[in-house]
Amino acid sequence: MCAIFGIAGQQEASNLTYLGLHALQHRGQEGSGIVSTDGKLPFVHKERGLVADIFTATNIAKLEGHSAIGHNRYSTAGGNTSENLQPVMMKSSLGWVGIAHNGNLVNANVLTQKLEREGSIFQSTADTEVILHLMAKSQEKDLINAIVHALKQVVGAYSLLILNHDYLVAIRDPQGIRPLVMGNLHGKPVFASESTAFDLIGANYEREINPGEMVVVSLKENFTVKCFRPFEKGALKRCVFEHVYFARPDSVVFSSTIYQTRKNLGKQLAKEHPPLDAELVIPVPDSGVYAAIGYSEFSKLPFEMGIIRSHYIGRTFIEPKQSIRDFGVKLKLNPIADIVRGKSIVVVDDSLVRGTTSKKLIQHLRNSGASKIHLRISAPPTAHSCFYGIDTPNKTELLASSHSVDSIRDFIGADSLGYLSLNGLLQVASEVSGAGFCHGCFSGEYPTPITTIV
């Protein structure tokens, strides 16, 4: 899960791209980069860290030009190293090219081995570089034809922004696994992983980039926009976890407002797993807040913020040498004893992966005086790994891959545990966005043959 942002025809293109990436920081926090152009030269700045720390006024001033693309990195393929920061740059017979990618290519290893045998030299371990090498070896003289040639060889998830001195190109894979939206600022195009980036810069949301669509902005022809469908139509397989967790609640993703979708997931959860003898509904912040609101509304139980989350946990926080039991969870999540003491409560969260955080949190709630704790999860059990852009643990580390719901309940120490059913999740998602979702992390049913994943 990464963030991409692109803009054309704006005097402050790099500054606007910085703001767009800042609004999309939740999609990637390990590093960020921007490539801008004046229609001739590229200007590049990439670093590890958070957007606001990387792009100082001095750095932004060096990113000249009227058009730019940017990327926030969340490590999946290739790991968290400086050479894997994006946008990835290439210089070839096509001239200079920059590319920003959200998603994972599941045949990247096979293609990398083939390209290396043919003489390609890779500068990173990111799968995105495969696309650039395929473009360079295409022998196409035109950037657009080279992109099409390359993408017809890859398998997996890709939402892409590609920039050179002539074009800014936005592409989404034929199955639409990862989101990509298009907006308008002062009559010129802007692109982002989520619409919330448009809100910050004052751009208008227009529409999703369609699965398999290529949108080409000509930097030499007054930033005119042309749309193509050069790829065979695939079965629609949008990532349903965008609805559950990834996207910001104030975003429009897959043509639906995430805030309302998550409330609806909470309502469906309350239908499937009623509150029993509970007196309060409490979210695990921030991930469970909106589903908990929906659960509260449907169940007619009062909603309380009975757990407070610290937003100031830095990478350099020093844990005391003297052992404090469950220090990490206490640092992040702290119950309010006056709210939960003596109460039977429903605790709502969006997912339960390894179970270790939930186990410690439930113990903290008991220590704070909660009499009963009913944990409700607004998604099905996460029992399978993702290969399309989510850094999920190995399947053996996923608690639901080897434990029943009852044994998970016993492990975490809850009085009851209820997951939203897969049918319930797909019903809610389809009501707001239409049918067609990837749910491989829940069902083990993937949108590409599992044999292509290496």
Q: 98 with 222, same domain?
A: yes
In-domain check, residue 148: no
Range with top average pLDDT, 325-329, 353-357, 417-421: 417-421
Comparing CA positions, the residue from 85, 213, 208 lying closest to residue 147 is 213
Q: 202 with 322, same domain?
A: no
Choose the final residue of a domain: 200, 234, 268. 234
Q: Please state whether the peptide bond connecting residue 449 to the residue before it is cis, i.e. omega within 30 degrees of 0.
A: no
- Kindly report the number of other CB atoms within 10 A of residue 280's CB atom: 19
Q: Is the Cα dihedral 241, 245, 247, 253 positive or negative?
A: positive
Distance (Å, whole) CA 70 – CA 60: 12
The DSSP H or E segment spanning 429 is helix 422-433
Q: 405 versus 122: which is more confidently predicted?
A: 405
Q: What is the 3-state secondary structure (H, E, C) of 309-363?
A: ECCCCCCCCCCCCCCCCCHHHHHHEEECHHHHCCCEEEEEECCCCCCHHHHHHHH
Q: What is the CATH number of the domain that holds 29?
A: 3.60.20.10
Q: 179 with 286, same domain?
A: no
Q: What is the pTM of this model?
A: 0.93
> Residue 317 has what pLDDT?
42
In-domain check, residue 111: no
Q: What is the CATH number of the domain that holds 442?
A: 3.40.50.2020
Comparing CA positions, the residue from 378, 343, 347 lying closest to residue 272 is 378
In-domain check, residue 295: yes
Q: For 252-276, how does the pLDDT look when each residue is reduced to its tens digit (9 = 90+)?
A: 999 899 999 999 999 999 999 998 8
Q: 316 with 215, same domain?
A: no
Q: What percentage of the chain reaches a pLDDT higher than 70? A: 93
Q: 291 with 395, same domain?
A: yes
Choose the final residue of a domain: 184, 203, 234. 234
In-domain check, residue 183: yes
Q: For 186-206, how does the pLDDT look when each residue is reduced to its tens digit (9 = 90+)?
A: 999 999 999 999 999 999 999
In-domain check, residue 116: no
Q: 47 with 82, same domain?
A: yes
Q: What type of residue is 319?
A: E
> Residue 325 has what pLDDT?
53
Q: 203 with 281, same domain?
A: no
Q: What is the mean pLDDT of residues 78-99?
A: 84
SS3 (DSSP) at 222: coil
Q: For 311-322, how does the pLDDT look when each residue is reduced to its tens digit (9 = 90+)?
A: 765 544 444 555
Range of the domain at 335: 253-452
Residues 6+ apart with CB under 8 A from 361: 284, 307, 329, 333, 347
Query: Cβ-count burial of 337 within 10 angstroms (0-12 exposed, 13-18 middle, 19+ buried)?
Result: middle
The count of structural domains within the chain is 2
Question: Is 239 a residue of the active site?
Answer: no
Tell me: pLDDT of 227 over 60: yes
Q: 259 with 401, same domain?
A: yes
In-domain check, residue 130: no
Percent of the chain as helix, strand, coil, to the nearest 5: 30, 25, 45
> Residue 79 has what pLDDT?
54
Distance (Å, whole) CA 107 – CA 134: 13
Q: What is the mean pLDDT of residues 68-77?
A: 83
Instruction: Give the confidence band of 390 by pLDDT, cuts at 50, 70, 90.
Output: confident
> Residue 260 has what pLDDT?
96
Q: For 111-139, how does the pLDDT look when each residue is reduced to its tens digit (9 = 90+)?
A: 988 988 887 778 877 889 999 999 988 98
Q: What is the mean pLDDT of residues 66-88?
A: 81
Choose the final residue of a domain: 176, 200, 234. 234
pLDDT, averaged across the chain: 91
Q: 84 with 164, same domain?
A: yes
Instruction: Give the confidence band of 360 by pLDDT, cuts at 50, 70, 90.
Output: very high
Q: For 363-380, how does the pLDDT look when each residue is reduced to its tens digit (9 = 90+)?
A: 999 999 999 999 999 999
Question: Are 70 and 20 in contact, with CB atoms under 8 Å apart?
Answer: yes
Q: 298 with 186, same domain?
A: no
For residue 438, give Cα distances in angstroms to 17, 101, 103, 181, 386.
30, 19, 13, 19, 10
Catalytic residue among 2, 239, 386, 438: 2
Q: 161 with 277, same domain?
A: no
In-domain check, residue 149: no
Q: 223 with 260, same domain?
A: no
Instruction: Give the confidence band of 452 by pLDDT, cuts at 50, 70, 90.
Output: low
Q: What type of residue is 41?
A: L
In-domain check, residue 400: yes
Residues 6+ apart with CB under 8 A from 368: 335, 336, 337, 340, 341
